[in-house]
Structure 1
Amino acid sequence: MFNDPDLASDAAGTVPPAGVNTALSRQAIVDDRRAVFGYALFEQPRDRANDSTVVLDAVSDSGAKAIAGEKIVFLHCAIENLDSVHLDLLDPDKVVLEVITRDGSTAEDIERGLAGLTKIRESGFRLAFGPAVLEPAYASWKPLASYVKLEMSGLERDQAERYVKAARSTTRAEVVAEQVDTVEQYEMMRRFGVKLFQGQWFSQPAVISDKSVQASQATIIQLINLVRREADLDEIEELIKRDPTLSFKLLRMINSCGFGLSVEITSFRHAVMILGLNKLFRWATLLMTVSRPGGAAPAAGTTAVVRGRLMELLAAELMPQEDCDNAFVVGVFSLLDTLLGMPLDQALSSVTLPQPVLDALLRNEGQLAPFLALTKACESGDDVAFAKAADELQLSNHQVNWAHLQALMWADQLDR
């Protein structure tokens, strides 16, 4: 599957799920400081009426920690199918079961569900419900709720406020506002006292201003430009040595499992020689992503790293290695406006990048643009965009799902 042996080694020891016809997506759940609280895992095409079979298989096979690091994961489960879920394969400390209810459930259906949910709750799992749990018919379920999830799509202000007040007064559950796609939605729910959010809002620039790049980021940009023009090794080493933070991060990151090196790096010159210019360029783009000025969203940095790795793995199916490297950079830099708090064209103007990278990022053109579109669709749950991009690249859902799972695991292994 992989053209790059380093990429193939990352997947060693894991067997892809057979017969997968849907694709795995992960979306961050963030707190009111825009830090990652956990992840919602779901399938594409997204069918909220059914179980997330691919997700459950992935978590039980690979473990929640491999997919979400130290964070918790929210998994969809249809209420009538909970008996068939192999809960003994899941870690109750890492997994929240998001219970999907059916419209038109009878009192008998609700009572039957209560028995199963009580047993699951007693085994240590936390449960999340939609707003239906706030209705009188589901009163017996309310003590079991750890989270109540409210979809912002089509939810008016007054209705949202009523739901939040009802959750507070009748349950001990924490409210999660999902499908939060605008700053206005986020601010409204935060005023109501909601502290957990899920949606696309965190990947949007919180502030767009003509601010200067911080000192450490300026050094990273200099490093990227030196590497791109294949500067002398002494010049590159001198730049790294001038910035203690940069020096420390270089030695720490390249000794991590993320680069798969078999020797320990102890000096900057040795680091540059061992890595080579291509991998040094990759590392510099990663470092630009995770250096977060002005309180930029940590979730955006994680998302950017996943984007880069996913684009690289998908490109490895169809392109030579040089193009795969460019795909990685496109994914990582696709959220640079958010991370630096300035328009993307302005952020990229200070960095020398290959033309195919600029075409994809600034004009949504060229051979890398469809990979970026597919990667974004994997995050958003946009089934139409996902199907269009996957079809354009002639990639199966199985290929996308497997690459996405590997990208999630790789990103969470990086010691940032």
Structure 2
Amino acid sequence: MQSPPEPATQTPDSVPPDSAAEDGYTYIARQPIVDRQQQIVGYELLSRASATSTQAPSTHTRVSDATFLFNALSNITSENLFGDKLAFINVRLEDLSGEHFDIVYPERIVLEVPRAAGDDPQSIAEAVPRMQELRERGFRLAAGTFAAASAYAAWMPALNYLKIDVKALPPGIVPALRRKTEQFHQLKFIAEKVESVEAFREYHESGFHYFQGYYFARPQTVSAKVFNPAYTTVLQLMDLVNKQAEVPRIEEVLKRDPALSFKLLRYINSSGFGLMSEINSFRHAVMILGYKKLFRWLVLLMATTPGNSTAPAIARTAITRGRMMEHMMQGSLSADDADNAFIVGVFSMLDVMLGVPLDKALEEISLSDPIVMALKHRHGAYGPYLQIAEACERQNWDDVDLQIRLLGLSRKRVSAAHLEALAWAENLGI
């Protein structure tokens, strides 16, 4: 047996001085996963609130997962986290179809799928097509020992890895696990919580393919200083991308904000994005990303950028409006309309954000007539949805009921959209 590998060397700013800690940095821990020769093949990535934290934040939502992926690719970068290895990332079962997976290159990402609450058969069944779609897109999937139970039989063809907590294994269970999964030739066993040479030898001899635990290395926190772009620039770019403006126009705006340019080039040149050559031109970056992926990246950037001149309460209100309007329109109108509704909600406080009258603020950006009509007069296709969002903020339920009757919406749908939007904005940490 070889001796365990040395812990991976930290990047120069891996652990900032205490005076800078918790302020202006983003933190992600990683723990190596090694093969039978103890060569590193991947890292499990774990969210951390600070340089000294040893536990993931208690809140685990779709938004926190999206923020985690954004920080990994745009702030710390995949080079500093997993290089040319695999990245194992924990996800929520209900979020397997989440749009936040659109910003990552799937070929080196392993999504660790959790156990269904109470082993609920419906939740297990509903996850199957989502898992299959993720596999088809190039993601790899992992699950815990629970997935070997009969209730999860439909998951097995989609799984690449079975992560087994060896400290919790009953004696003599490994042969039974092997027999139960032997027909799934793609499935590899990962021994988790390997904390001694004896444990490594035991599960090495049992035929496990990969290993993870304190015997090899404890989770190591990597961090990066976060450079925040101007909020107004992000909003302007969102508008241009949403209108599919000419690439030179987008490039011109990008060049005005060094922090934004830095983040974009760091993101697209991340090894996790999967390009074979480095991108040095903003124009090339925009063309490679495409409008849809760039728009989603900007939404996440806007939502996760603290410390702008805009007061956090104002930013939260604007983002909540946009998210609520987007949700109310989904399913009843087109996807483009839902995207425009998000823009209307966010831009509805543009005058407050910029500190100028709305007419003056709208001179700075070119918007479609329906969006302008909603912003100026609360009329048109989007105006009534904006009125509902504003009435919910004021808790004016008479106005809410009037508008939802006119639109044919249900009070239940509006309430659900409002609560989801509030939770989404809250979890962004704005």
What's the TM-score once normalised by structure 2's chain length? 0.41
Larger Rg: 2
> Which structure ranks higher in relative contact order (CA pairs < 8 Å, sequence separation ≥ 6)?
1
Length-normalised TM-score, structure 1 = 0.42
